[in-house]
Amino acid sequence: MANREDIMAKICELIGPFNNKGVDLTASTTFQGDLEWDSLTVMDFVAAVEDEFDIIITMNMQAEIETVGQLADAVAKLMDS
């Protein structure tokens, strides 16, 4: 059973190297707005998340994920299925 807190912590760890703006990470941090990531950085980051949790995040799913919290929810759901 995937622990959402552990997932959140791992995601924040993975965001680290891409966090050029050095923003504080909370569940409501947005990838496009707060982190100012372009679409290519998003793709590289998503690939890292997929490999870390051994899941697939389709492009349709990515379109729905705007915040760090939403990503953690999506990962938890994918790991449970």
Partner 1 sequence: MTDLLSKFDPLIQERENLLATGVKDPFSLVMEEVLSPTVAICNGKETILLGTYNYMGMTFDDDVRAAGIKALAEFGSGTTGSRVFNGTYSLHRDCEDALREFYAMDHAMVFSTGYQANLGIISTLAGKGDYIILDTDSHASIYDGCAMGNAEIVAFRHNDVEALEKRLKRLPAEAGKLVVLEGVYSMLGDVAPLKEMVRICKENGAMVLVDEAHSMGFIGENGRGVCEAQGVIDDVDFIIGTFSKSVGTVGGFCVSNHPKFEILRLVCRPYIFTASLPPSVMATASTSIRKLMHSGNKRAHLWENSKKLHQGLRDLGFSLGTPEAQSAIIAVIMPDLEKGAMMWQALLAEGLYVNLARPPATPANMTLLRCSLCAEHTSEQVDQILGMFEAAGKAVGAI
CB atoms under 10 Å from CB of 46, counted, come to 20
Under the binding rule (CB under 8 A), the answer on residue 60 touching partner 1 is: yes
Cβ proximity to partner 1, 28 vs 36, nearer residue: 36
Under the binding rule (CB under 8 A), the answer on residue 64 touching partner 1 is: no
Report, in Å, the least distance between residue 9 CB and partner 1.
23
Contact 4, 72 (CB under 8 A): yes
Task: Copy the structure tokens of residue 26.
Answer: 């909370």
Q: Which stretch binds partner 1 (CB under 8 A): 9-17, 22-30, 42-50, 69-77?
A: 42-50
